[in-house]
Structure 1
Amino acid sequence: MTFSLPQSLPSGRGVPADSPVLWYADEIRYAPLLDMWTRAQRQQDITGLRPILCYTDDDHPRSLDLAEVTAVDLETELEQGWREYRRRQLARLAAPPEPMDCPEDVEPWEDDPGAPYDRWPGLAPATLPASGADPDEAARSALAHLLRHGWYDTAGASLGLVAAARSADIPAVIGWRAEAPLPLFCALLRSWEDRFGARVLAAIGATLHVSVACPPRTQEQADLVALEHLLTTADNIVNDPPTPFPRYAASLIDAPVWSFWWD
């Protein structure tokens, strides 16, 4: 594959070298990173390259075949995941409480009542089509916020350009390394792209940051979206430590960035 790179980029390299699907900028400078990302994004329909933030030393294996993503029956797989989640939830609620063995200066984890559904509620309704929001503009604003006020992991990140037809396919194309169920997760990203104007901003180590043009506005919407997040099995939602479902759902209201990581 031959890259048609945007202008005014620092030196970089294609990965893998023999048939690149990802181009890394060698030079890592915090100050112009947003400007470089924005210029690349504005030219993505011409170049066919979509920008992300990434670490230049991340080891990406072969691309995931996008046919595996297309083959996912999203709602069926999520419903199956919900049924297993619900089974564990009911078993936990029925079990006698175990005493918490915590040091005196450590607060015990909050009790988690779980998702407020006794049957599969279906996918969260789409909010993007009627909103008039521009997902690419929302992505630029979200990335600016992430770089200026956000996560420690962006400090050592560089610009990457990915030969992907749509933003949701970026993790599959670059062979993103994480313990995520990648075909299902990329199918969800495609659905979030269509329903909420999601865009992949950064794939840094085992963490993925996603901008959202039309996040949930109400608690009812947020509960449905939070359940989809929970069913990704991301560790920051279910394990690290487990966040009580109502609190996690409330954090999604008007949130312009969704983040997921797997240990």
Structure 2
Amino acid sequence: MGSWTHCQSAREETGLWPLLVSTPYGPGRPTALAAVDTLDLHAVLERDWHSYRAFQLRQLAAPQEPRTYRRASNPGTRDPGAPFDRWPGLAAGIPSSLAGADPAAAARTAIARLMAGPYPLPKPHLALVPATRSADIPAVMGWQTEAPLPLLCALLRSWEDRFGARVVAFDGAMMHVSVARPSRDADHATHLALEHVLTGADNINDGTVPYPDYAASLVDSALWSF
């Protein structure tokens, strides 16, 4: 924790972002940041929402499984998915003027939680990434994942601006993001959860957590994991 905090405080001098990784590995092939710069986030997410909405409607129209075959975690209902029948756009940002909404402090709190919380990051190592901003870390590192890195980094940049988000750790193909200004109410979290779904992350889209429950978990949540 001390080494991470020291590197965080020296970031402007060194140009290196500190990052926790669960296993040491060499960087992959970087994604050109020009691909992030030119990506139309609103247009791409709206396109992906149409695909998600078509899937959602097929799921809702399909006959329900017999009770004996329903998932144990959700035995009596089916996941309704996001409650939008048209693309709602991006969720509103939370003002940066809020007291205590410091992205650097939120990142330190998230690191402490990842190192000493109930589910600590296994065998954490410190990596230093030559990125201009936290959101570009996956692209600069050539993070090895099936996620489309230009879209992911563009969304992370938007979350930086709207919510004070910072990429703080990788655990294999799992990414952890600290959040200085999280959702404060259920309606906002319900809107924001759609952006999380559209990342394609397995832990959100595997069907084990119904959309309303996932959205509720985002209220006051200062650590997002994908």
Answer whether TM exceeds 0.5 for this pair.
yes
SS in 1 for 2:220: coil
Q: Judge conservation of contact 2:96–2:181 (CA < 8 Å) in 1.
A: no
Matched, 1:77 2:44: yes
Give distance in 1, aligned partners of 2:25 and 2:67: 39
Aligned to 1:243: 209
Q: Judge conservation of contact 1:113–1:245 (CA < 8 Å) in 2.
A: yes
TM-score, length of structure 2 as denominator length: 0.93
**1:1-263 alignment to 2 at 5 Å?**
34-99=1-66, 102=69, 107=72, 109=74, 111-132=78-99, 133-152=101-120, 154-239=121-206, 241-260=207-226
Which of 1 and 2 has higher RCO (CA within 8 Å, sep 6+)? 2
CA-based RMSD: 1.7
Q: Judge conservation of contact 2:138–2:153 (CA < 8 Å) in 1.
A: yes
Give distance in 1, aligned partners of 2:167 and 2:136: 9
Q: What letter is aligned with 2:219?
A: I
Could you tell me which runs of 5 or more consecutive residues in structure 2 were left unpaired when the two chains were aligned. Answer: none
SS in 1 for 2:55: helix
Aligned to 1:25: none
Q: What letter is aligned with 1:242?
A: T
SS in 1 for 2:109: helix
Give distance in 1, aligned partners of 2:81 and 2:163: 24
Structure ID, larger Rg: 1
C-alpha displacement of 1:59: 4.6
Q: What letter is aligned with 1:183?
A: P
C-alpha displacement of 1:128: 3.6
TM-score, length of structure 1 as denominator length: 0.80
Q: What letter is aligned with 1:64?
A: T
Aligned residues: 223
Percent identity between matched residues is 52
Give distance in 1, aligned partners of 2:177 and 2:67: 35
C-alpha displacement of 1:56: 4.3
Give distance in 2, aligned partners of 1:253 and 1:69: 28
Give distance in 1, aligned partners of 2:20 and 2:27: 14
Q: Judge conservation of contact 2:24–2:125 (CA < 8 Å) in 1.
A: no
Q: Judge conservation of contact 1:128–1:194 (CA < 8 Å) in 2.
A: no
Instruction: From the two aligned structures, give the one with the greater helix fraction.
Output: 2
Give distance in 2, aligned partners of 1:258 and 1:138: 12
